[in-house]
């Protein structure tokens, strides 16, 4: 942390010191600021619309959306009103509330391939349950996934080896995203024992250029699953409702058998879902899965309000438009500073990389300076544009990124 | 469902029919009413203190406490006020709120063996993370658990085989609860590769007499882990804060290395925690585990208020006293109807079984009639007494169970 950062970060620094005593490593998981530039806060205070404030009162335009959950903006009035009304009645009870049925109806009416829904709390719950249903349906064991794709942090999928045994992944096979031949080869290796293929709607591996799904790849996986009797599982946890309300591969015309959802489906309230087609309904009844809070009503009320608002507000179109405007602005700025960048991913979930910046030195300078100037974006993880983003928010972002590109230019010139 | 039940259950029956269309099997997990007597509702509407109401307006005294989470009673004013105040500020953000540090401090100050805390959403998250930390700490693979103990619904522990592969459990070994020799034998079979032993504070397997931990068994597991360098993991998900605020084996003087918590730690708000001792802090930093909502502030604010209220209100003593009064009342009623019962478990988490009732016929009659008369208790799962239970609540329960014992008496006589 620079002296300036430290000076302005009294509360954050004090909290970090206290956290170091009672939380291993001071923080863990995707919200640890340990790997971020010093300008980033470790602790946040509040949010409203597309703006967030850290514990020292600094304001940012939010381009991370809590790493995905906040799709309509923070404190969306209709979502909060629905959640608060439900909280007055009940949340965690001896049995679910009517909200569960209403939400299952709303999701199956919205998502083209879905005939039924099951709910949980984490994205990892949803991906893991989808695997279990695929295995229960087929009586087989092997699951294929793209090498490097993030599907959660259970032992079968967490991206780091600590605490993981070889047996946890004994039934996993791997292919390369957008390389259908590699998936066919992996399916061949699992011949006769292939239960399913799990895949993200596009390639959003951390620190890499994002890569949209090749429609031929998506259709090829569908055909592979049809031919082998395996389940095609779309992991829509990160992208769900940002690309298309009918599921992220609906624009490609590819219907999965099962899909995993979480993050944005209740605008920040803790909720996950597995959706599936008729052919997998019976298998879903064979898996015993549950959680103490999986039937809680408040997050489901929030989910219902989120779904309604996404539709009413034309949220996908708004996120797309704002994301395209951001992309254009960033391209113009990078050109002005004669910096070679690559902007990848759909406009609603953008990311930029400096060409040749292999150790993220320039990315850290960029993100750090952007944070100092009031734009909260990430040097290695894809960003998220919420539907609450206004032109004023975009102007503030581009003012910040203008300074950030200038800082990168100075760094490049100084090398 | 009897005609009377059906008549009184218009809303519940309609919701069940709708659920059957969009939820596999109509419902899943521990909150499915499919295995319960017809008198039980599938859908609940609201709760206050120790009373809950189903969607058709029927009132019950709650002896299930949402299967554990509700420890201070529904809608506890201080917990709700803390949660609502936090919701006005922020819940799910780009980084945790100060509540996370405060809660880690409060838990490590309360729980004797804990030097640090990590948070998640499900009990299964906490037990799974504890296993991963034990493996990261030891570099070994094998985990021992008591046969039949419930530790969650991930593939390594879910009680039913659907969707589970042999490899998911390749590193599990099993012993018999309260049988130290069987644990020593299982440890011998894992020799050189034993990472940990996970155990519940007492035996609360579904449909079985509950069995308190033999102190020699608990001390023997501690010695076994000390001798082999394995982690002793206390699964306090179900019992946590009902037996002792310092952790459920504190009264036995047995300190685990790691403990898993969830259910009651935020009085119904979705939260889980792993607590651990200094020796396992470094290993905890080696496991990559996270979730979209694991850093959310509202459930942590609720957890802080819950911990404070548990202490201020002397909740453990209240639950114990009410549980003992319930036990005495049930014993007196059973004797009056000349029915042989066994009441087992700690008074805060009671259960009763009719002697010789192997297929739960009498248990179903008892629980069904109790539900009809306004006492919500379970025929096979242990019950939970909340600290909100009043003498008036107990009177209503005993009025209901009096009728329930009479119904069992009539059934026995009719056989």
- Number of inter-chain CB pairs under 8 A, A vs B: 347
**pLDDT score of A9:** 74
Collect all residues of chain B within an 8 Å Cβ-Cβ radius of residue A52.
90, 93-94
Is residue A130 located within the same domain as residue A233?
Answer: yes
Q: Are residues B29 and B118 in the same domain?
A: no
Residues 304-343 of B with CB under 8 A from A: none
> Does residue A44 sit within a domain?
yes
| Paired tokens of B176 | 């018999």
B138 touches chain A (CB under 8 A): no
Name the residue facing B29 among A22, A93, A290 (closest C-beta): A290
- Is the CB of residue B67 less than 8 Å away from at least one CB of chain A? yes
ipTM of the complex: 0.97
End-of-domain residue from the set B292, B312, B332? B312
Domain termination site, one of B261, B279, B312? B312
Please state whether beta strands A351-354 and A375-376 pair in parallel, antiparallel, or not at all (unpaired).
unpaired
What's the mean pLDDT when you consider all of chain B? 97
- A138 and A54 in a common domain: no
Shared-domain flag, residues B343 and B366: yes
What would the pLDDT profile of A5-29 be if each residue is shown by its tens digit? 555 679 999 999 999 999 999 999 9
Same-domain check for residues A282 and A192 = yes
**End residue of a domain, out of B312, B339, B370:** B312
State the pLDDT at residue B4: 56
Task: Please give the Cα distance from A3 to A7 (Å, whole number).
Answer: 6
Residues A110 and A128 in one domain: yes
Same domain, B20 and B152: no
B183 & B100 share domain:
yes
CB-based contact A163 B124, cutoff 8 Å: no
Q: What is the pLDDT of residues A119-177, one digit of tens each?
A: 999 999 999 999 999 999 999 999 999 999 999 999 999 999 999 999 999 999 999 99
Chain A residues touching B67 at Cβ < 8 A = 94, 292
Both tokens assigned to A306: 């989120």
Residue of A nearest to B105 (CA): A22
Q: What average pLDDT does this structure show over A61-66?
A: 98
The predicted model gives A267-289 an average pLDDT of 98
pTM of the model: 0.98
User: Does A27 share its domain with A103?
Assistant: no
**Per-residue tokens: B124:** 């299964």
* For chain A, the helix, strand and coil percentages under 3-state DSSP, each to the nearest 5: 45, 15, 40
State the pLDDT at residue A8. 64
How many domains does chain B divide into?
2
DSSP per-residue letters across A42-101: S-EEEEEBTEEEETT--EEEESSGGGTT-SS-BT-HHHHHHHHHHHHH-SS-SS--HHHH
In this structure, are residues A64 and A376 in contact, taking their beta carbons and an 8 Å threshold?
yes
Q: What proportions of chain B, in percent to the nearest 5, are helix, strand and coil?
A: 45, 15, 40
- What separation in angstroms does the CA of A212 have from each of A67, A232, A261? 19, 18, 19
Cα dihedral: A75, A204, A313, A80 (round 10): -20
Q: Do A303 and A227 share a structural domain? A: yes
Q: Which CATH number belongs to the domain containing residue A204 in this structure?
A: 3.40.640.10
Q: Given the DSSP bridges, would you call strands A351-354 and A341-344 parallel, antiparallel or unpaired?
A: antiparallel
Q: Kindly state the DSSP code that residue B74 receives in the 8-state scheme.
A: B
Q: B133 and B163 share a domain? A: yes
Q: Which domain holds residue B332?
A: 3-72+314-414
A278 touches chain B (CB under 8 A): no
- Tell me the per-residue pLDDT of A173-189, one tens digit each, with 9 for 90 and over: 999 999 999 999 999 99
Interface of B with A in 174-233 (CB under 8 A): none
Q: What is the CATH number of the domain that holds A38?
A: 3.90.1150.10
Q: What is the pLDDT along chain B (415 residues), one digit of tens a residue?
A: 454 555 567 999 999 999 999 999 999 999 999 999 999 999 999 999 999 999 999 999 999 999 999 999 999 999 999 999 999 999 999 999 999 999 999 999 999 999 999 999 999 999 999 999 999 999 999 999 999 999 999 999 999 999 999 999 999 999 999 999 999 999 999 999 999 999 999 999 999 999 999 999 999 999 999 999 999 999 999 999 999 999 999 999 999 999 999 999 999 999 999 999 999 999 999 999 999 999 999 999 999 999 999 999 999 999 999 999 999 999 999 999 999 999 999 999 999 999 999 899 999 999 999 999 999 999 999 999 999 999 999 999 999 999 999 999 999 999 6
8 Å CB contact of A290 and B98: no
Neighbours of A281 (CB within 10 A): 17
Q: What percent of chain A has pLDDT over 70?
A: 98
Shared domain check, A183 and A128? yes
Query: Per residue in B21-73, pLDDT tens?
Result: 999 999 999 999 999 999 999 999 999 999 999 999 999 999 999 999 999 99
- Rounded CA gap, A247 and A113, in Å? 8
- Measured in angstroms, the CA of A177 and the nearest CA of chain B are apart by 23
């Amino acid at each position: 942390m620079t002296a300036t950062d430290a000076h302005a970060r009294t509360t954050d620094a004090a909290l970090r010191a206290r956290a170091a005593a009672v939380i291993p490593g001071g923080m863990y998981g995707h919200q640890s600021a340990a790997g971020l530039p010093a300008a980033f806060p470790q602790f946040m205070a509040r949010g409203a619309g597309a703006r967030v404030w850290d514990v020292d009162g600094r304001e940012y335009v939010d381009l991370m959306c809590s790493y995905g959950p906040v799709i309509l903006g923070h404190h969306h009035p209709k979502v909060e009103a629905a959640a608060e009304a439900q909280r007055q009645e009940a949340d965690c009870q001896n049995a679910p509330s009517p909200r569960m049925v209403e939400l299952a109806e709303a999701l199956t009416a919205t998502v083209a391939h879905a005939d039924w829904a099951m709910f949980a709390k984490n994205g990892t719950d949803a991906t893991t349950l989808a695997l279990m249903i695929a295995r229960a349906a087929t009586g087989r064991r092997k699951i294929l996934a793209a090498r490097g794709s993030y599907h959660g942090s259970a032992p079968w999928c967490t991206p780091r080896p600590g605490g993981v045994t070889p047996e946890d992944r004994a039934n996993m096979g791997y292919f390369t995203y957008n390389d259908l031949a590699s998936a066919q080869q992996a399916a061949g290796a699992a011949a006769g024992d292939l239960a399913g293929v799990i895949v993200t709607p596009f390639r959003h591996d951390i620190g890499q250029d994002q890569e949209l799904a090749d429609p031929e790849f998506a259709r090829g996986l569908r055909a592979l699953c049809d031919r082998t009797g395996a389940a095609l599982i779309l992991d829509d946890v990160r992208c769900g409702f940002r690309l298309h309300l009918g599921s992220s591969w609906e624009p490609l015309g590819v219907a999965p058998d099962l899909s995993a959802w979480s993050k944005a489906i209740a605008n920040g309230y803790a909720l996950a879902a597995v959706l599936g087609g008729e052919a997998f309904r019976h298998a879903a009844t064979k898996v015993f899965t549950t959680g103490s809070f999986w039937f809680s009503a408040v997050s489901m009320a929030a989910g219902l309000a989120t779904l309604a608002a996404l539709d009413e507000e034309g949220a996908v179109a708004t996120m797309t438009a704002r994301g395209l405007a951001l992309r254009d602005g960033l391209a113009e700025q990078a050109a002005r500073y004669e910096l070679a960048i690559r902007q990848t991913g759909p406009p609603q979930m953008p990311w930029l990389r400096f060409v040749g910046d292999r150790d993220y030195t320039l990315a850290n300078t960029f993100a750090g300076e952007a944070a100092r100037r009031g734009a909260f974006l990430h040097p290695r993880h894809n960003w998220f544009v919420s539907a609450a983003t206004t032109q004023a928010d975009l102007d503030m972002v581009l003012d910040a990124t203008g300074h950030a590109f200038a800082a990168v230019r100075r760094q490049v010139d100084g090398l």
